[in-house]
């Protein structure tokens, strides 16, 4: 596949509000699924499915800690990704308003 096509694939992946929000949050710190559910106010399966797409594209990686799956950005030195991360607005506010729920 041509460079341009792969770039389009990446843009498509990031061209979703929820997925881009996940990437932006992970740019600050790693998170488990239930934290993302809280932060994005959506359902657990919805988060899990977006995560899978990001993982399939190797944008994020998973580390299990007990019963929790934590996710973090993977290969931040990967071509393109660094440039994209630089565009993301800071997510401090999101975290400030965030009161961790029982699960995590």
Partner DNA sequence: CGAACATATAAGTAAATAATTATATAATCA
Partner DNA sequence: TGATTATATAATTATTTACTTATATGTTCG
Output 68 or 95, the one with its CB closest to its own copies: 95
102 touching DNA, by CB under 7 A: yes
Q: Which one of the spans 41-49, 57-65, 68-76, 81-89 is the region binding its own copies (CB under 8 A)?
A: 81-89
Nearest CA to 94 out of 41, 16, 19 is that of 41
Question: Closest distance between its own copies and the C-beta of residue 67, in Å?
Answer: 30
39 touching its own copies, by CB under 8 A: no
DSSP 53-86: HHHHTTSEEEEEETTEEEEEE--TTSTTHHHHHH
22 touching DNA, by CB under 7 A: no
14 touching DNA, by CB under 7 A: no
Nearest CA to 23 out of 100, 79, 75, 96 is that of 75
Beta pairing partners, 70: 32, 63
Phi and psi angles of residue 62, each rounded to the nearest 5 degrees, phi first: -115, 140
75 touching DNA, by CB under 7 A: no
Output 77 or 102, the one with its CB closest to DNA: 102
């Amino acid at each position: 596949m041509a460079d341009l096509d792969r770039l389009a694939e990446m843009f498509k992946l990031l061209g979703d509000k929820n997925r881009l929000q996940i990437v932006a949050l992970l740019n600050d710190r790693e998170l488990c699924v239930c934290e993302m559910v809280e932060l994005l106010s959506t359902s657990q399966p919805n988060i899990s499915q977006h995560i899978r797409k990001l993982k399939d594209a190797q944008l994020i990686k998973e580390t299990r800690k007990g019963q929790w799956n934590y996710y973090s950005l993977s290969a931040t030195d990967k071509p393109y990704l660094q440039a994209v991360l630089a565009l993301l607005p800071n997510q401090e506010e999101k975290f400030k308003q965030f009161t961790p729920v029982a699960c995590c």
